[in-house]
Amino acid sequence: MDRQQAHERMDAAIRLTAPGTALREAIDMILAAHLGALICIGDTDRVLASGNDGFPLDIAFTANRLFELSKMDGAVVIDEDVTVIRRANFHLNPDPSLPTSETGMRHRTAARVSMATDAIVIAVSERRQVVGIHVGGHSFQLRAAADLASRVSQRVAALQSSRDSLDVLLTRLTVLEFDDVVTLREITRVFGAFQLLSDAADEIRELLPQLGIDGRLVRAQLEQLTSGMGEQYTLAVRDYARDPSPEEAARVRRDFAVLDPAEMASPPRVARILGYDGLNDEDVLTARGHRAISRAASLTREAAERVSAAYGSLPGLMHAAADDPGRLGELGVGNPAVFVSSLYRMWGRKG
């Protein structure tokens, strides 16, 4: 199993145990009763071949039935669709030579069964009250609902703070771009804020599968706080990278994403990723205008690309557009007067 397959299968397993599912309801009951459990889901033929004994059942799955059956020793074997309980009190006997770093008999057994089969194996520790999900030898510790809610709440607050800070920086950047006085230090701060927002959003997205039905509000908040920011980030990179192509902008963003906070705050480091050497913090970089033009009225995305390419820079556009509105029409601007007026409003001046 490659890394991508392992990630997809673990993600599916986490969704199976998310709040609102019958399986999670059973797990919560097991924890509340201070019981332990081993639960095998899917690949039942190989799971049954890896052990012996137990009681054949073939009964419909319910949370209450799984809870009651977990009071017995041994594993509960469930079909892939989590609709039928195949066997209970089943003694698993995986190959003891399979390597695992897990501690505790249940978790070691779960890890080894997951290596030997394609089953999702869930181990609930009676003493430690820990729930481990094991897939293909990989493990994930299921968080308690209260702990998960607190963690998500903190991440959403961080996301809101990041968006507020970014909005302030972008408002300032827009004015500086029109005045053609943007320094390397200034755009370093802006790209750092974009990356901080992106990282905070990614952390929340990683937590969403664990939230199940409790994640609907968080998902709505995430969409609201990140709306349009991915595109604005890319356009800002295209404004300042030596190569303004979308492909190069994607490369720059990938390089930014792996920087630590100190590197992301370093103007020389940011300049090198943008394609420049030897720039000082206060050196001025002229914006091509991709981001500002995209926000102007009376403009399609295709027309915005043509306008950016035709004028080369935002200051160049502002110097020429008012004197030659006909060219804007030729480039696909539906209403040149409205377009130019909206640019001046962004600048904070009257055209």
Checking if the pLDDT of 265 tops 90, the result is yes
Range of the domain at 38: 3-142
User: 152 lies in a domain?
Assistant: yes
Q: What is the CATH number of the domain that holds 246?
A: 1.20.1260.110
| Co-location of 209 and 310 in the same domain | no
Q: Which residues contact 118 (CB under 8 A, 6 or more apart)?
A: 42, 43, 46, 136
For 65-96, the pLDDT digits (tens) are 999 999 998 999 999 999 999 999 999 999 88
Average pLDDT on 191-213 reads 92
User: 339 lies in a domain?
Assistant: yes
| Co-location of 106 and 167 in the same domain | no
Checking if the pLDDT of 350 tops 70, the result is no
Q: Which residue has the tokens 């962004």?
A: 346
Last residue within a domain, chosen from 243, 274, 305: 274
Distances (CA, A) of 75 to 50, 59, 93, 121: 12, 15, 11, 10
Q: How far apart are CA 176 and CA 284, in angstroms?
A: 10
Predicted confidence at residue 187, as pLDDT, reads 97
User: 68 lies in a domain?
Assistant: yes
**Of the candidates 327, 323, 318, the residue with the CA atom closest to the CA atom of residue 348:** 318
Q: What is the CATH number of the domain that holds 33?
A: 3.40.1700.10
User: 280 lies in a domain?
Assistant: no
Predicted confidence at residue 1, as pLDDT, reads 56
User: 63 lies in a domain?
Assistant: yes
Predicted confidence at residue 102, as pLDDT, reads 83
| Co-location of 69 and 106 in the same domain | yes
User: 283 lies in a domain?
Assistant: no
- pLDDT tier for residue 351 given thresholds of 50, 70 and 90: low
- 3-state helix/strand/coil string of the chain: CCHHHHHHHHHHHHHHCCCCCHHHHHHHHHHHCCCCEEEEECCHHHHHHCEECCEEEEEECCHHHHHHHCCCCCEEEECCCCCEEEEEEEEECCCCCCCCCCCCHHHHHHHHHHHHCCCEEEEECCCCCCEEEEECCEEEEECCHHHHHHHHHHHHHHHHHHHHHHHHHHHHHHHHHHHCCCEHHHHHHHHHHHHHHHHHHHHHHHHHHHHHHHHHHHHHHHHHHHCCHHHHHHHHHHHHCCCCCHHHHHHHHHHHHCCCHHHHCCHHHHHHHHCCCCCCCCCECCCCCHHHHHCCCCCCHHHHHHHHHHHCCHHHHHHHHCCCHHHHHHCCCCCHHHHHHHHHHHHCCCC
User: 76 lies in a domain?
Assistant: yes
For 287-308, the pLDDT digits (tens) are 999 999 998 877 888 888 999 9
For 10-56, the pLDDT digits (tens) are 888 999 998 889 999 999 999 999 999 999 999 999 999 999 888 99
**Of the candidates 106, 285, 69, 85, the residue with the CA atom closest to the CA atom of residue 185:** 285
Average pLDDT on 138-144 reads 86
Predicted confidence at residue 2, as pLDDT, reads 61
Q: How far apart are CA 47 and CA 118, in angstroms?
A: 9
Number of independent structural domains in the chain: 3
Token representation of residue 247? 């492909």
**Percent of the chain clearing pLDDT 70 (strictly above):** 98
Whether this prediction's pTM lies above 0.85 is answered by no
Distances (CA, A) of 208 to 135, 216, 225: 19, 9, 15
Q: Which long-range contacts (CB under 8 A, 24 or more apart) does 258-262 make?
A: 259/195, 261/192
